[in-house]
A = this chain, B = another copy of it.
Amino acid sequence: MSQHEVDGIASNGRVRVGEQRPGGRAARVRSDVLAATATLLNTVGYEQLSIEDVADEAGVHKTTVYRRWSSKAELVADAVRRNAEQAVPMPDTGSLLGDLQVLGRNVVANIGSEGGSLRSRSIVAASTGSDELMAELHSFWAERLATSEVIVDRAIERGELPDGTDANLVIEAVVGPIWLRLLLTGEPIDADFADRIADLVAAGATVR
């Protein structure tokens, strides 16, 4: 273990090392572990994922993982967070409809693939039996919805939407039906569906 790594976590046991030293070894280790976690979630799902396998996949010792994440639920939530930031970035197309279409298409691509479906379904399933994982998921979603507000804020600035539009409602209306298909109805999840739901929601928000 390098002195840098020790310093990186010494000041605070729960500190996100990668946020302190974006270019350092600690940040690389963190990134590798989260990428390995995402890979395993996409291939074996939540229940079968073990810290040992994550460490193997990331090429680090398992104590390195245990030192940074206090539990599997916390590690998985961080992996989900990082995955969402990369796979579902907030669009800025210049129009509400364009932004909601891109958002919907990115969600479709992220959870509709074979790996994304396994990851997403297995985490939801496990959360019903784990208060800790459920709390992590709720935090993740609160952050994502807050991040997504920028889409509505910009539409208000452009005069496309009235002041006071409920940003969360607009985002939930686009994202909810996609998850409904994944978790309940089993109907196809594709870009066409994302476009149609974005159309409906953009039209509904605009006339209000």
Residues of A within 8 A of B (CB): 121-122, 124-126, 128-129, 134, 137-138, 141-142, 145, 166, 168-170, 172-173, 175-181, 183-187, 196-197, 199-208
| Chain B residues whose C-beta falls within 8 Å of the C-beta of A204 in the assembled complex | 199-205, 207
A175 touching B183, Cβ below 8 Å: no
With A169-B200, A176-B180 known to touch, is A186 a contact of B124 (CB < 8 Å)?
Answer: no
How far apart are A159's CB and chain B's nearest CB, in angstroms?
17
Which residue of chain B is the closest to A46 with respect to CB atoms?
A: B128
CA distance A175 to B184 in the complex (A): 11
| Chain B residues whose C-beta falls within 8 Å of the C-beta of A175 in the assembled complex | 177, 180
Q: Which 6 A-B pairs rank lowest in CB-CB distance, beginning with the nearest?
A: A204-B204, A176-B176, A176-B177, A176-B180, A138-B186, A141-B185
